[in-house]
C-alpha cells in the first residue's frame, strides 16, 4: 500500500510541478503512443507525456514521460479490473537540427521504475525525429535506451525502447 501511495505521489510531483517553472511561449506539446521495450516484460508498452519549453527559442524542453502496460500479475495498481505497471521520468530534450517541419532531437531523462514491490532509479537516453503534420498535430519516432536495476538479478540492465508517438500543441 505504501509503495502504491509513494508511486502516485511521484507521478503527481513530476506531472504537476514542472509546468510551474516553464515559460508560456513557444507552445507546450503533449504526446502519446506505443513502444517496444526489449527485453522487458511485457515488451509492448504505452506512454504519454508532455514537453514544456525552457528557452525562448523552444530548443530546450523539459520532458515528462509516463510509460504503462497492462499485466496479469505484479501491477502497481488496478484500474477497472486491469493491473498496471508503470515507470515515470523527467528530463531534457534538445532540438539538434531542424529543416522545415522536421526536427532531430536528443533526449536525456532520469526517473524511477517499479515492479510493484521494488522501486529503482532509471535513466533514459537517446533521441528521435519529429515531423509537424499541420500547425497543431505531429508524429515522432523516438529511439532510446533505458538503464535500470534488473529486479530479478539485482544487476544493471539496459532496454532498447523504440517508440512511435502522436504529438499535439496546447
* pLDDT for the residue numbered 121: 87
What DSSP string describes 29-42? EEEEEEEE-BTSSS
CATH of domain 2-169: 2.40.160.20
Output the pLDDT for position 3: 52
Residue with C-alpha cell 530548443?
Answer: 59
Q: Which residues of 85-100 are buried (b: 16+ CB within 10 A; e: fewer)?
A: bbbbbbbebebeeeee
- Residue 153: other Cβ atoms inside 10 A: 8
By CB atoms closer than 10 A (0-12, 13-18, 19+), residue 80 is exposed
| CA–CA distance, 91 with 84 (Å, rounded to integer) | 23
User: Is the Cβ–Cβ distance between 29 and 58 less than 8 Å?
Assistant: no
Helix H segments across the chain?
2-21
What is the spatial distance between Cα 69 and Cα 84, in angstroms, rounded to a whole number? 6
The three three-digit cell numbers of residue 85, written as one number: 505497471
* Contacts for 22 with CB less than 8 Å, ≥ 6 apart: 28, 52, 53, 54, 62
For residue 18, what pLDDT is reported?
A: 46
Q: How far apart are CA 162 and CA 131, in angstroms?
A: 16
Tell me the pLDDT of the chain (170 aa) as tens digits: 455 544 544 554 544 444 444 444 568 999 999 999 776 666 788 999 999 999 999 999 999 998 888 777 766 677 787 777 778 889 999 999 999 999 999 999 998 877 667 788 889 999 999 999 999 999 999 999 989 888 778 889 888 889 999 999 99
Amino acid at each position: 500500500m505504501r509503495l502504491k501511495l509513494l508511486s502516485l505521489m511521484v507521478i503527481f510531483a513530476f506531472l504537476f510541478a514542472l509546468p510551474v517553472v516553464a515559460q508560456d511561449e513557444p507552445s507546450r506539446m503533449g504526446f502519446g503512443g506505443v513502444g517496444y521495450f526489449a527485453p522487458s516484460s511485457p515488451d509492448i508498452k504505452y506512454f504519454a507525456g508532455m514537453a514544456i519549453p525552457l528557452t525562448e527559442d523552444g530548443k530546450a524542453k523539459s520532458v515528462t514521460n509516463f510509460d504503462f502496460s497492462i499485466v496479469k500479475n505484479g501491477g502497481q495498481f488496478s484500474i477497472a479490473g486491469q493491473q498496471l505497471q508503470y515507470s515515470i521520468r523527467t528530463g531534457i530534450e534538445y532540438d539538434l537540427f531542424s529543416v522545415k517541419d522536421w526536427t532531430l532531437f536528443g533526449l536525456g531523462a532520469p526517473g524511477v521504475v517499479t515492479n510493484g514491490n521494488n522501486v529503482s532509479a532509471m535513466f533514459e537516453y537517446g533521441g528521435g525525429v519529429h515531423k509537424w503534420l499541420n500547425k497543431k498535430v505531429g508524429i515522432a519516432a523516438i529511439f532510446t535506451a533505458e538503464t535500470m536495476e534488473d529486479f530479478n538479478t539485482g544487476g544493471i540492465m539496459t532496454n532498447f525502447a523504440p517508440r512511435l508517438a502522436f504529438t499535439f500543441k496546447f
